[in-house]
Amino acid sequence: MIDFELTDEQRLVRETAAEFVDREVIPVARDNDRNERFDEGLVRKLAEMGFLGAIVPEEYGGRGIDYRTYCLIVEEIGRGDSSIRTVVSVQTSLVCTPILRWGDEDQKRRWLPQLCSGEILGCFGLTEPDTGSDAANLRTRATRIDGGWRINGRKQWISNGTRAKVALIFAQTDPELKHRGIAAFLVPTDTPGFSASAVHGKLGLRASDTAELSLDGVEVGDEALLGEVGDGFKIAMSALDSGRLSVASGCVGICQGCLDASVSYSKERIQFDRPIASFQLVQEMIADMTLDTEAARMLCWRAAWLKDMSRPSTTETSIAKLYATEAAVRCANLAIQVHGGSGYVDDYPVERYLRDARVTTLYEGTSQIQKLIIGRAATGVNAMT
């Protein structure tokens, strides 16, 4: 059975991550957000802490930690800043995990140590201008050439896109085969024909790098193919299975951050000659945040526990992702309410929490898509095809 007690090692990792976030992440979060600054120095520090690719086994440069411990780390980073948390989630769950699971020995040895050490960043290129939720319907084409593949297409909203040295690109090899024709390629981003341009004007995640990728006759050798031709869709879904738990855990961090900020502010702020914490309607908001934080964390831990047991966890991961992301939006909204007018400016972290939380109900599968996954498991009927 699932054990709610953390091991000594897990407690130590959580404390270390929390101290790191308090010392290195929180003090720069507002400035990075205001200036849309992708903080390379902070990414290096994350790597030094071993927070990139931490679930990768040590023989490939990771720390070999379990999913529960990964959740603890990601929660703490999410409490500090979702932009930097996105770097951790993409690098670890969306890039390292599929290489680990589907890569051959050469691919693992070539890419994983560099990704885990932070020497290079990776990105995950699934979404396209005309293909979002319906991920099986990719327009990017890969065609066979002598000794490899030529790839043409565009990818949209790709996190780490302008910084990545390797892009995991999903492309259709035979449109007749639909999702069974999709292949995944590890494309070095300095390959001729590959270009990336940054997307600006985002509501939140402003310190995160989001890009549009163009692949214009990009040629790669056979060694770039991850898994077999036709495995691409399964590779994408298995990566998202890890990524969704990472996003959900980051959102538990947002919920906890909202709660901490609201408790502290409500005890200091005096109105009607009393701290606002003494008003029942304020306590109601704090109780609602507490409930959401605890429930979201437990759902994440359950999904992590299933993964650590190598048991099926897709539905439970979608439940955790749906609940935690929507909870983060609710908590951030309530936290602004507790802060009154002060919550509307960035002297406090709560308005950033709201802006950053908002994307989490969209990326790695919208809330509607999570509901369809949960509904499919409950009814046995697939509403997506």
User: Annotated catalytic sites, by residue?
Assistant: 364
Residues in contact with ligand FAD by the rule CB under 6 A: 90, 123-127, 132-133, 157-159, 205, 210, 359, 362-364, 366, 368-369, 372, 384
Tell how far CA 17 is from the center of its chain: 17
Dist. CA 33–CA 55, nearest whole Å: 28
Residue 21 CB contacts under 8 Å (≥ 6 apart), including other chains: 76, 77, 79, 80
Comparing every residue's Cβ against ligand FAD, the nearest one is 132
Fill in the DSSP letter of residue 75. Answer: H
Tell how far CA 126 is from the center of its chain: 14
Amino acid at 262: S
Backbone angles phi, psi at 376, to 5 degrees: -65, -40
DSSP 236-279: HHHHHHHHHHHHHHHHHHHHHHHHHHHHHHHHH-EETTEEGGGS
**Which tokens belong to 64?**
């070999």
CB of 152 to ligand FAD, least distance (A): 17
Name which of 18 and 373 has its Cβ closer to ligand FAD: 373
Q: Tell me the sheet residues that pair with 143.
A: 150
The CA distances from residue 350 to 289, 327, 378, in Å, are 13, 14, 36
Yes or no: say if 356 and 381 are a contact pair by the CB < 8 Å rule.
Answer: no
Name which of 232 and 343 has its Cβ closer to ligand FAD: 232
CB of 281 to ligand FAD, least distance (A): 32
Dist. CA 151–CA 144, nearest whole Å: 9
Q: Is 38 helix (H, G, I), strand (E, B) or coil?
A: coil
CB of 128 to ligand FAD, least distance (A): 8
CB of 86 to ligand FAD, least distance (A): 7
CB of 250 to ligand FAD, least distance (A): 13
Token pair 């990776």 is at which residue?
122
Name which of 162 and 266 has its Cβ closer to ligand FAD: 162
CB of 90 to ligand FAD, least distance (A): 6
Name which of 127 and 262 has its Cβ closer to ligand FAD: 127
